[in-house]
Structure 1
Amino acid sequence: MSDPFDRAVRDHHRGEREAPLLQRDGDRVLEHPIEEFYFTAPAGEGLEWLEAHLDGPLLDLGAGAGRHALVFQERAETVAVEVSDHLVATMRDRGVEDARRGDMFDLRSTFERDRFRSVLAIGTQTGLAGSMRGLRELLGDLAFVTTPDGTAVLDCYDPTVEATADLLGYRADPTPGLAHRVMYFEYEGETGDVLNFRLFSPDRLREAAAGTGWTVTAVRRSDDENGRYYRAALEKW
């Protein structure tokens, strides 16, 4: 059975979506902005910031409908990875040249060492690592598949920012700089698996990176939402 999220993105691409994609946590419900998050091409200062920290060959993890891959493949070899056949097919339909099904938490069995110069993981899916240990393991895998001068860009919501507590599914954690976000998607009456995201502050990301070969070199916060969302650039040292 396909995931409701994947089907909703596919149907949106085909012009067949008649129902909203919903995010749910108990009685709280929000409509997920598919067009804005997955089909609007990156541009402006946000894109320029990414370009300054990424180079090819590029691995785009959790690539969604391929909005970043479509831009970066014009500059360098770009491999876009998604765990869903529906999303891979959508990316290919949209012109992504190398879209593949794969698991971002099983990279060592998919790609050889030093395969990429940079990794992009935008969409807060890094939080699905589930724990600080899981985050360290993921960073270790990213180090494995990137060259000695590799770079990466990850994103997350910062639990140290007060506005983050307003997120649907937010769960506080007594450990400073950490929190959880628990939610699931619903589309046309079908519900997906419960997703448990680990939220970590930039300082916690720096802590997790220690010993993995990575160093956080830059952090860019969103201009809206009181800066609760951020992107972090990492380099190998």
Structure 2
Amino acid sequence: MSDPFGRAIRDFHRGEQDEPLLQLDGDEVNEHPIEEFYFGERTPDQDGTEFLESRLEGPLLDLGAGAGRDSLYFQDRFETVALEVSDHLVATMRERGVDDARLGDMFALREGFGRDRFSSVLAYGTQLGLARSMRRLREFLGDLAHVTADDATAVLDNYDPEYDETRELLGYRHDPTPGLGFRVMHFEYEGDVGDTLLFRLFSPDRLRDACVGTGWRLDEVNRGAVSNEYHYQAVLEKE
């Protein structure tokens, strides 16, 4: 399967990246900032770290762990399992020192983990939107409830389509339903074109609605700094 995204990040890590990783929607093209997004070291005094530390405990499941930035930080504090769907990213994490980096699909958690396996979950990078529909989002939350303990916490993130800044993102698509939107794009690297990605964007209120009947409730919403409020982290707790 073509994986320009994972391969470009792996090549950057190895010092072998000679061409940019491109993010495209039709004629609109952005260069994806690999170093900024995936290789900045998380530190205790970094913005957002204190918030995460107050909500996460081990065993932790890091979903869509990328190059392992967060897993590298939290594995020194408690057991951390990093999950990625890309062979290239799993290899990158292992080379960088992630203790438990595994190949797997975050939307097929029951296939990889047993009941009550984790005390907390982190999914940072808006990959939650790859659920693609609200029905699939509810199914994911049900699976997440299955693999987490009764008192578990999950920290998830997305873009809020009720903010104008979200509508300016590459690939944004309007949905007339309040609190909902889409994002469509693909990655390209060294002429290798990846699959088209469809993200479901939803506001915190829509996420709260999706939690009903899944075993989760929305406990807190933490928005980005000024000019970045359209990106939010949602804290879910078990009911």
TM-score, scaled relative to structure 1: 0.98
1:18 shift after superposition: 1.0
Alpha-carbon distance between aligned partners in 2 of 1:10 and 1:2, rounded to the nearest angstrom: 14
Which residues of 2 match residues 210-225 of structure 1 at below 5 A?
Answer: 210-225=212-227
Alpha-carbon distance between aligned partners in 2 of 1:171 and 1:198, rounded to the nearest angstrom: 10
Alpha-carbon distance between aligned partners in 1 of 2:124 and 2:143, rounded to the nearest angstrom: 17
Alpha-carbon distance between aligned partners in 2 of 1:41 and 1:61, rounded to the nearest angstrom: 18
1:91 matched residue in structure 2? 93
1:144 matched residue in structure 2? 146
- Runs of 4 or more consecutive aligned structure 1 residues displaced over 4 Å after TM superposition: none
Alpha-carbon distance between aligned partners in 1 of 2:188 and 2:71, rounded to the nearest angstrom: 26
1:18 matched residue in structure 2? 18
Q: 1:4 aligned to 2:4?
A: yes
In percent, how many aligned pairs have the same letter?
A: 68
1:218 shift after superposition: 1.1
Distance 1:123 1:178, change over 3 A: same
1:38 shift after superposition: 0.8
Is the CA contact 2:2–2:193 (under 8 Å) kept in the aligned structure 1?
Answer: no
Alpha-carbon distance between aligned partners in 1 of 2:191 and 2:165, rounded to the nearest angstrom: 30
Alpha-carbon distance between aligned partners in 2 of 1:185 and 1:47, rounded to the nearest angstrom: 29
Q: 1:33 aligned to 2:33?
A: yes
TM-superposition CA deviations, 1:148-196 (whole Å, max 9, x none) = 0000010000001111110000000010000000000011111100000
Residue 161 of structure 2, aligned match among 159, 162, 183 = 159
2:206 matched residue in structure 1? 204
Give the letter for the 1:8 counterpart. Answer: A
Alpha-carbon distance between aligned partners in 2 of 1:46 and 1:226, rounded to the nearest angstrom: 13
TM-superposition CA deviations, 1:212-236 (whole Å, max 9, x none) = 1111111111114441111111110
1:42 shift after superposition: 2.5
Give the letter for the 1:156 counterpart. Answer: N
Aligned residues: 237
Q: Which runs of 5+ in 2 are unaligned?
A: none
Q: Which moved more, 1:83-92 or 1:223-232?
A: 223-232
Alpha-carbon distance between aligned partners in 2 of 1:116 and 1:180, rounded to the nearest angstrom: 30
Q: Which runs of 5+ in 1 are unaligned?
A: none
1:82 shift after superposition: 0.5
1:2 shift after superposition: 3.8
Alpha-carbon distance between aligned partners in 1 of 2:32 and 2:180, rounded to the nearest angstrom: 24
TM-superposition CA deviations, 1:58-112 (whole Å, max 9, x none) = 0001000000000000000000010111110100000000000001011011100
Alpha-carbon distance between aligned partners in 1 of 2:3 and 2:134, rounded to the nearest angstrom: 27
SS in 1 for 2:165: helix
Is the CA contact 2:162–2:179 (under 8 Å) kept in the aligned structure 1?
Answer: yes
Alpha-carbon distance between aligned partners in 2 of 1:150 and 1:108, rounded to the nearest angstrom: 16
Alpha-carbon distance between aligned partners in 1 of 2:161 and 2:231, rounded to the nearest angstrom: 9
1:52 matched residue in structure 2? 54
2:76 matched residue in structure 1? 74
1:45 shift after superposition: 3.1
Alpha-carbon distance between aligned partners in 2 of 1:42 and 1:53, rounded to the nearest angstrom: 16
Give the letter for the 1:47 counterpart. Answer: T
Alpha-carbon distance between aligned partners in 1 of 2:41 and 2:154, rounded to the nearest angstrom: 20
1:197 shift after superposition: 0.1
